Amino acid sequence: MSTDTKNTGKSFQLSRRDLLRHGANAAMFAAVASQVDFTKPAFANEQKLTGPLNVLAWAGYDDPDLMKGFTELTGVELNVKEAESNGAQLSLVQAGTVKFDVINPDAVWTSKFAEAGLTLPIDTAQLSSQDETIPMFRNRPETMFDNQVYAIPTRFGVNGFVYWPDKISAEAASDCELAWDASLKNRVEIIDWPELYLWMAGQWLGMKNPETATGDDLQKILDKMIAFRPNMRALQSDMGTVKTDLANREAWMVWGSSSDNVRTTARLAGANVDLVIPKQGGAMWMETLQVVRGTEHLASALAYINYMTSAKAMKQMAWGADKFAVTNAKVKDLLTADQVKALGLDMMEEWVSNCGMSQAPTDDMAWADAWQTFKTA
């Protein structure tokens, strides 16, 4: 997801196995062709896919079933390193110590990678799975640079308030000022996600482009966040803790933290919580897959993106160990009605329509300093 708090401390381990099954039989290629179209331009100059493929991605992309599915389909081994943050992804690709082929930054970081010359434009016509993408996620401006697509959306989510309806009314939750209401002293939890909360606070202060805030405007945002501290039960380092505290009713409300995922997890645990996007607006996040410039395995990288955005793979991402909304429209057909409702997919269009895409700040250092001030206030 789009936070900078996804690190679980896993280390990167290269596969000990060499690339397998380049001499695959006709039956295997028939199975491959049903999901990856090797006749399209992306694969026309490749007699075979090469690897192993090094992927830098958020938690969840190293799901063993997902990785196994791609390798069985293509014969290409995957090495997946878990990303700590968007900025860390940028630094690791720039450093080049590990030659990554595919990366997984949030959509709003697309231009940063492209401007630095680190990624390649992608011809979406070469990806058969794009025909299944929900229309509102096709060629979004956040995924483009210089009028070309550089990023393919995968998982996404919304941010608002998730709350206990016996403690907070729906009417109260529909107003963003609830987060500052004195009745919630020490009852609201958030996570360590500076881009989200500073951006949302700026949005709620009426700023058209909060991400550009510096100087006096950034100080207004900081003052607003500091005023929230009496209600902040805890600033957690990960999403798991806020979910647990909400389910245990230690927190009456969670602000942000990928609200739809918080709601889904809590409800599956038996907590009858609700989600609302305040009338002043919420914030979206969206992950993408991007191809690293200079990859020696371009066809494999495109095949991986095609596979990961297929209905089969995205169903695993939507209803695997984690529970996230995904951009393939056909996933709904692979889920039960209860699963669709649990994920909030029946409500997602309404939620998304009331959310802006939270943007990466123009002045990274100023925002980092402001967030540190908030944390120590």
- Across the beta sheet with 188-191, the strand order is 232-236, 188-191, 253-255, 161-163, 274-276
Fold of 161-276+355-376: D-Maltodextrin-Binding Protein; domain 2 (3.40.190)
Do the domains spanning 26-156+285-345 and 161-276+355-376 agree at the CATH topology level? yes
- Nearest-10 crossing angle of helices 64-74, 311-318: 170
**Which residues, 6+ apart, have CB-to-CB distance to 183 below 8 Å?**
none
pLDDT in tens, the chain (377 residues): 544 444 333 332 322 222 222 333 333 333 333 444 433 333 334 458 999 999 999 999 999 999 999 999 999 999 999 998 899 999 999 999 999 999 999 999 999 999 999 999 999 998 998 999 999 898 899 999 999 999 999 999 999 999 999 999 999 999 999 999 999 999 999 999 999 999 999 999 999 999 999 999 999 999 999 999 999 999 999 889 999 999 999 999 999 999 999 999 999 999 999 999 999 999 999 999 999 999 999 999 999 999 999 999 999 999 998 899 999 999 999 999 999 999 999 999 999 999 999 998 999 999 999 999 999 99
**Dist CA 123 CA 319 (whole Å):** 29
Q: Write down the domain spans for the chain.
A: 26-156+285-345, 161-276+355-376
26-156+285-345 carries CATH number 3.30.465.10: no
Number of Cβ within 10 Å of residue 251's Cβ equals: 28
